[in-house]
Structure 1
Amino acid sequence: MTGRAAFDRRRFLTMAGMAGVTAGAATMFGRSVAVAAGTPAVADTRPPVTGLPAGIPSLHGYDSAAIKTWSPATDPFAKYFRSRVPLAKRIKTFAPTQANPSLSASPRLLSLSNDYVEPNNVRVMHPYGYIFEAYALRFWQYLDYFGAWHGLPVFGQINAPDPAYGVINPPNPAWTDAAHRNGVLSLGCWFWPRPPDQFAALVEQRPDGSFPVADKLIEMAEYFGFDGYFINQEGDIEPEQALLLQEMLGYLTRTAPKGFYVQWYDSLTLAGQVDYENEFNATNSPWITDDGKRYCDSIFLNYDWTPELIQNSHDYAISLGLDPQRVVYPGTELSLNQFAPPEDPRWIFPEGERALTSWALFGTDFPWSLAPSDKSSVEGQRQVYVYERQLWSGPRQDPAHAARLVPPTGDGTNPAGWDGVAYHIVEKSTIGCYPFLTRFNAGTGERFFVKGRLASEQPWFNIAIQDLLPTWQWWLRKADGSTYDGLKVDYDYNLAYDGGTSLVLTGSLPADEAVELRLFKTELPVHDDVCLDLTYTLGRACAASNLRVGLTFEDEPSKVTWLEVGKAGSPVWNRRSWSLKPYAGRTVAALSLGFRSDTVVEEYTVHIGALGLRRKGGQEAPPKPRGFTVDGTSLDAGVATAYLSWELAHEGVWYYDLFRLSPGNGAGMSNGGAGVPAPEAANGKSTDKEWIGRIFADAYVVPGLQRRGSEGETCLELFAVSPTGVASRPARTSFSWTG
């Protein structure tokens, strides 16, 4: 093994074992906590009801011993790391509304990447936190599988000077939530070698032929709510151990529930030696199928592939009776090469021909590291998301015109030579049933809004509550189909209707010429009782909205039917609703926004706070949450961490919102209300309650609660919120500052 293949191996090993927290300080949930060298973040015991450590606990890795003995009853904090969002069903493909109608939906895409990239995240994995400095992926619509590439120390080792890492790291549950909402499978990662763990312990086989580790891997995936594993075996082992590993993987795929997914990395041979093939051939195919038996679902091919090796891989899969677009995933190393990988994706996707295989990406989080500057502010992160749009939508940041602007440059910092993922992979959607509602909440924020009111000034990150974001980012065009660059589209962190961001368009409107922003791919059959709702606000220079909502129907995909918004009635948030009864019997295939003015508008600004379709009668509030309780608290110098739980409602609830009441309000407030802060202060901020968290789960940890004056007890409220955004009556609990 020579050249780049050898470097790739070292890179995988190095990234997985990086250490990022040193003696002196650690970051727990974005807050600095003093630690001593070699001191575990928490003890290796199940947490008691009181005396729990400060800060949100970090997910940890699992070695062979921990895997074999794993139980949620003994795994510290396991209940806080569960994804409870079910995997959404994707709608059928519909070529006429695609940004590129010629693309086939057959090739699939996997991303193996870091999550969040929050400070010090090489050793920690938090599902949510109270800082803004965290990356949240906005392009789930092109993915079919997401694997969290994030080695983690075993429990109790997070602050050790040379920690032992687990063979298994589950995916971040918040990212699993976001993936599932978009119809994407979420994978945990297997990485070996992990000294001092011995490989023989991983492939132990019982007399009945079963494998303890495989059984537990299935059990862990079911409990934590993810969908399978990426197997990265990059250490030499004995030949008999390699055969046992192959047999164990076959047992894993046969025993696991339907939909469980396992992908193998092109590394180990059946002789137990690491050997990167860079193609699908007789050496690595036994990890997929051998002697008529199936072992893994697919293979991530190592880099250094060529057009010939891709063609060989395709042909070899066919010779085995396998579909190369289901089995073979050539890998593109973005983390190292960024916008200039040596292997051209066009070798996988020949122009005008059927794709030869599917595709895998490693390091789609690279826009975070490529962008310069401090990323603790919106302005500091702005270039991150420009690079992200160029990665997925192409250098023009327009999926309808994804394609390189120049031949590949070899300069990884220059997106001009990169086609964009949208050039090869069709966009997908889960918007196929009612209700559909988005507030354009991107999953991070400098503050938090609820129903148009400022509910918290605390920065935060939580991709678990990211809304379904626009399918196309950004497809802006004139009526004749040509591009229009007079308007700029982005997410605005300064003003939101619900969450941390709204959609904002700024720029100019031409005179008497329609402009369309194509937003969402849908498959929504229209009934007599369907309504469309829009929440928006206009800039001061806009006397009239010049705003329209567009419906594209399946039976007439070349035409957009426009609903006029009319003049705004409020300087803040306006709501407009339409009955779609006139279109009953048709199916909405796409949603757009439109802009048209009789005269030139030089300074046009519009914020879109919410967009949704619902059926009448779906505005009922969920029942009041049951079982809301404080399981434990950690109190330290006027700062509290509260461990909360309640009973999860599996139907009729979109998410749960948590609030902290101001001192003196806990006993006197009514148990009614709609879950919004009230009344408003002069600056628009709630005076009686503060938002402290949102999740679809039955447990949450709130750190950093500052004692207010001589406050003796803090009252907390929990609201269940329906899929149409209607909140229940609040459940209440409290904790004491005096122990």
Structure 2
Amino acid sequence: MTQPIAPRRRSVVLAGAAGAAAALLAPGPAAAVPGPGSTAAAAESADLQPYASYWFPDSLPAGTPGEGVTWRSLSTWRPEDDPDLPFNTAAVPLAPRFTPVPPNRTARTGQARIQSLVSFGHTSRNPSQGAPTADYYALTHWAYLDELVFWGGSAGEGLILAPNAPVVDAAHRHGVPVLGTVFLPPVHWGGDLRWTRDLVRRDPLGRFPLAAKLVEVATAHGFDGWFVNAETEGGDAALGSEMLAFVRDLRDRGESAGLRITWYDAMTVGGTVAWQGALNERNEDFFRTADSMFVDFRWTPSRLASSATRAAGLGRSRYELWAGVDVEANGWNKAVDWDAIIPRDRDHVVSYGFYRPEWTRNHLPVDRTPGRFHAADDRFWTGQSLDPSAPDGDGGWRAPATAVADRSTVTALPFATTFNTGHGLRWYDGGTVTSGTEWNHLGLQDRLPGRRWVVRTEGRRPAVSFDFADAWRGGSSVLVAGSVDAPVTLELYATRLPLRPGTAVELAHRADEGPVTVELAVATEEPARPGDPVPYRYVPAGTLRGGSGWTTATLRLNGLSGELRALGVRLTGDGAVAYRLGGLAVRCAAARPPAPPTRPRVTARATTGDGTALRLRWTAAPGPVRHYELHRVLPGGDRRFLGGTCQSAFHVPGLRPEPGERAARIEIRAVGELYAASSAVSVVHPW
């Protein structure tokens, strides 16, 4: 595999996100409750910005690390000594998910799945909690993924890479496990066989201490396992035997914590690096020991067929083999023998793994916008039709939505979304701009529609997209725009939500151009067959006039029982329509704010050229919390938004005194699933 390449970004924390809100559709201020501050020793000129964690196994390279790079040894890492760990620990548990009836007849259930190897940034200086730019690979098509690998590692920075918390939180919200990377690079990429030997070294009792460390790292950081990629040449049979024993020990140690191991087809059991492009006798023992194996790009149709047969002979699923598809350079223009992996006329052969699908962002010009990125990303995952219910024909690119069934995690009440993709040009709260700063923070991403965009109409099909020009809350909304000459049903979520007395659905929406009549589309049954339309019923939600601004509607689902299986909207207009959907919530009771966090404190401060930087900590609020929001209280009482995070730690950069201000006061609030905000606790930094 190639070394990860990504443009460097200014590594500072998110500086634009939402203000407090009392409910999803009815924003309002939360009462300020002063809380205790704390004193921390000054760390003058220190870089307090937290970054994703990375290490060498033990011994470090010769020479001096590059600018912004810190060389660390995993062998000496201890969680209690890691000052960045509170910023890097994922907070969202891995959500259970289900597979609804597919929207087309070509997508398969229970066959091929997809793994993605994604580089979200350089190994070093990858911010722990987002950054003030919208130019980011904000992955949203989680519904087709079975596993995400946080790809990275380099001989000049570090070889073992732990995923940052925002990526893990977003993936877990959508039911996708995330693996860290152990990358032992080829010699021509700076690899050194001593690092492989360091990794598999035993202690005097014959145990593998670094296997224990890898399990400790994954459990402390809250991610789901490791992708082990040993590509450094020069090994022998003894080293191969030790690597196999190491992987077995890593698997055994991690099993009780639910960790997964994916082995990359590079090192063979003989200790040499010889990419097989198949499951065979030279790598079979590694596959038997791990949970899955990424089959190198050298595969052929016959090799994949024999690999599937061999996996079955071992009592393993053929779909635990990921056939590598390298899209780093050419994306959907990549020539792939799809019939070797996911033939249309018989069972899928194996699963497959995308290497570097962030091409959908990287191939765009430098002035790319979030809208252009999502248009490209939708085409990659859905195909040129941009509608999973109408798959592409015989084009060269076989988009995932045409072959792989989508999944959903919308299984419990309350459920709410504001269609926030995890990045934006501004931040909105209740339809009002509360920060004009670009931002990205995947941990703040909502659960998003899995099948984008299924549109059912007898007339002309309008365009549907995530739009960043306006939003109800967060950075984006769903925009339906075009000439409408027949009712249009936009399918949004496959769900498994219990229908209870008093169940209500809330919509925050508006018409930029209209008029448009809106109905909520609900279904209590699924289609009888893949590709059949969902049997919706329709609940009137009003007629919106163009340019009338945001409005909210609360719709009671009286008379329905059982389970809510699908949600959407039906739009009826006559001519040009631009309908913007900003929020959707399903609940049985009004939103109640969570309890506030406690013990807010400053744990470190530093003076930089940009001003004063602070590290903040607090004790998590009891009960379920979606995320936390931080505001600075200005002289006169106004509040300025500083950011949001799912963690109970936050880095604030660039603080400067306001006129007449003797101390900076920062408020922290917990935000619940329906976006109700708690009362505030405060920390004070004297000037």
TM-score (norm 1): 0.82
Judge conservation of contact 2:191–2:232 (CA < 8 Å) in 1.
no
- Name the SS for the 1:646 alignment partner: strand
Q: Please tell me the residue identity of whatever aligns with 2:664.
A: T
- Name the SS for the 1:383 alignment partner: helix
Judge conservation of contact 1:267–1:274 (CA < 8 Å) in 2.
yes
Deviations, residues 558-582 of structure 1 (Å, cap 9, x unaligned): 4210111113499322111112131
Judge conservation of contact 1:68–1:216 (CA < 8 Å) in 2.
yes
Judge conservation of contact 2:415–2:585 (CA < 8 Å) in 1.
yes
Match of 1:536 among 493, 505, 509: 509
Match of 2:676 among 690, 706, 726: 726
Q: Which moved more, 1:170-179 or 1:365-374?
A: 365-374
Q: Please tell me the residue identity of whatever aligns with 1:579.
A: R
**1:711, 1:221 → 2: CA distance?**
43
Judge conservation of contact 2:46–2:608 (CA < 8 Å) in 1.
no
2:118 aligned partner? 113
Match of 1:438 among 409, 414, 417: 417
Aligned pairs for 1:301-700 (under 5 A) are: 301-325=295-319, 327-375=320-368, 378=369, 381-406=370-395, 417-478=396-457, 484-485=460-461, 487-510=462-485, 513-539=486-512, 541-543=513-515, 545-554=516-525, 558-568=534-544, 571-584=548-561, 586-597=562-573, 600-602=574-576, 604-616=577-589, 619-636=591-608, 639-649=611-621, 651-665=623-637, 688-700=638-650
**Structure 1 pair 525/108, CA: closer, same or farther in 2 (3 Å)?**
same
1:268 aligned partner? 267
1:165 aligned partner? 157
**2:549, 2:612 → 1: CA distance?**
36
Judge conservation of contact 2:327–2:357 (CA < 8 Å) in 1.
yes
**2:210, 2:460 → 1: CA distance?**
56
Q: Please tell me the residue identity of whatever aligns with 1:245.
A: M
Match of 1:229 among 205, 208, 226: 226
**2:7, 2:422 → 1: CA distance?**
24
**1:451, 1:19 → 2: CA distance?**
35
**1:252, 1:472 → 2: CA distance?**
36
**Mapped pair 1:85 → 2:92:** yes
Give 1:48 deviation, angstroms: 6.0
TM-score (norm 2): 0.88
Judge conservation of contact 2:11–2:126 (CA < 8 Å) in 1.
no
**2:249, 2:123 → 1: CA distance?**
32
**1:124, 1:693 → 2: CA distance?**
19
**1:335, 1:219 → 2: CA distance?**
32
Q: Determine what percentage of the aligned residue pairs are the same residue.
A: 26
**1:251, 1:637 → 2: CA distance?**
48
- Name the SS for the 1:144 alignment partner: strand
**1:361, 1:352 → 2: CA distance?**
23
Judge conservation of contact 1:455–1:689 (CA < 8 Å) in 2.
no
Runs of 5+ in structure 1 lacking a partner? 1-11, 32-46, 153-162, 290-294, 407-416, 666-687
Give 1:258 deviation, angstroms: 4.4
- Name the SS for the 1:310 alignment partner: helix
- Name the SS for the 2:87 alignment partner: helix
**2:677, 2:124 → 1: CA distance?**
37
Q: Please tell me the residue identity of whatever aligns with 1:386.
A: A
Deviations, residues 18-53 of structure 1 (Å, cap 9, x unaligned): 6977xxxx833289xxxxxxxxxxxxxxx9653363
**2:43, 2:685 → 1: CA distance?**
11
Deviations, residues 351-408 of structure 1 (Å, cap 9, x unaligned): 1322121111111100112222423xx3xx43322221111001222112233553xx
Give 1:706 deviation, angstroms: 4.1
**Structure 1 pair 135/240, CA: closer, same or farther in 2 (3 Å)?**
same
Judge conservation of contact 2:657–2:663 (CA < 8 Å) in 1.
no
**2:152, 2:303 → 1: CA distance?**
29
Deviations, residues 170-190 of structure 1 (Å, cap 9, x unaligned): 112211111000000000000
Judge conservation of contact 1:100–1:426 (CA < 8 Å) in 2.
no
Judge conservation of contact 1:549–1:563 (CA < 8 Å) in 2.
yes
**1:507, 1:312 → 2: CA distance?**
50
Judge conservation of contact 2:418–2:477 (CA < 8 Å) in 1.
yes
- Name the SS for the 1:567 alignment partner: strand
**Mapped pair 1:75 → 2:77:** no
**Mapped pair 1:56 → 2:31:** no
**1:698, 1:208 → 2: CA distance?**
39
- Name the SS for the 2:628 alignment partner: strand
Deviations, residues 641-699 of structure 1 (Å, cap 9, x unaligned): 2211111136221111111122242xxxxxxxxxxxxxxxxxxxxxx112111111110
**2:441, 2:480 → 1: CA distance?**
24
Judge conservation of contact 2:90–2:168 (CA < 8 Å) in 1.
yes
- Name the SS for the 2:307 alignment partner: helix
Give 1:531 deviation, angstroms: 1.1
Q: Which moved more, 1:435-444 or 1:353-362?
A: 353-362
**Structure 1 pair 232/555, CA: closer, same or farther in 2 (3 Å)?**
closer
**Structure 1 pair 113/353, CA: closer, same or farther in 2 (3 Å)?**
same
Judge conservation of contact 1:399–1:423 (CA < 8 Å) in 2.
yes
Q: Please tell me the residue identity of whatever aligns with 2:168.
A: T
Q: Please tell me the residue identity of whatever aligns with 2:179.
A: L
**Aligned-residue CA RMSD in angstroms?**
2.3
Task: Give the number of equivalent residue pairs.
Answer: 634
1:183 aligned partner? 175
